[in-house]
Amino acid sequence: MAESTNPDPGAKAPAFIPLEANPQLMTELIHKLGVGPSLAMHDVYSLTEPDLLAFIPRPALALLLVFPVSAAYESHRMAEDSITEAYTGKGEQEPVLWWKQTIRNACGMMGLLHAVCNGAARDFIEPDTTLDKLINESTPLDPVQRARLLEATPALASAHKEAASQGDTTAPDAQDDIDLHYVCFAKGSDGALWELDGRRTGPIRRGELGQDEDVLSERGLALGALKFLEREGGDLRFSAVALAGAMD
């Protein structure tokens, strides 16, 4: 069985400045790393009100949910991970590309990587960019080797530091303990909704999506982000950003 205790990187692990859930900064970051200008990150003001969801260009290629790492969430995570074998997948046949998080406070970057490197979003990555090279180098590697590759990619750390230092709020220190976490929901090459989180034992297939359904469709939300809201009850410290077409 997989290890179900604290999955966070230790105190001696490399650390990033926590990334603010700011769509403008995130858009600049993914463009700098290699995503073409036709995609952007967008604020999601509601996961339940159709009128507010209508502001987001469709299809939405990925959804990043920022949520508190509560006792209820950790109990749920440990229960699932304790009966799940640690992921060992690699190669071109994978429906999603997943990285284990071994860098402290890097969950924002991990979420963005999982968002832009999977499903239809991958088609918007420009050749010979940081992301293009990262996908090509990561694909044949196992999860342990992939994590080491992220740690040894200076362009990733440099771009992240620049973005994280420019938020609307004062950036925390890289060594601070942060109780908010990012998880990504994306549609894989198999047409399913996948939960992608570097704190888990691997990528999690949450269910089938129809050809015309995306991560913000009624079924996509029911299988993914709304599960978090149901579990946490009254905690309102949730925010969300979506990857979709640029409006400019």
Would you please indicate which residues are annotated as catalytic (active-site) residues?
Answer: 107, 181
- Quote the tokens at residue 48: 């339940």
**Amino acid letter at 172?**
P
Degrees (nearest 5) of the Cα angle 235, 172, 5?
60
Nearest alpha carbon to residue 3 among 105, 100, 104: 100
- Beta-carbon contacts of 81 under 8 Å, excluding residues fewer than 6 positions away, are 2, 3, 4, 7, 200, 201
Q: How far apart are CA 74 and CA 38, in angstroms?
A: 37
Cα(37)–Cα(173) distance, rounded to whole angstroms? 30
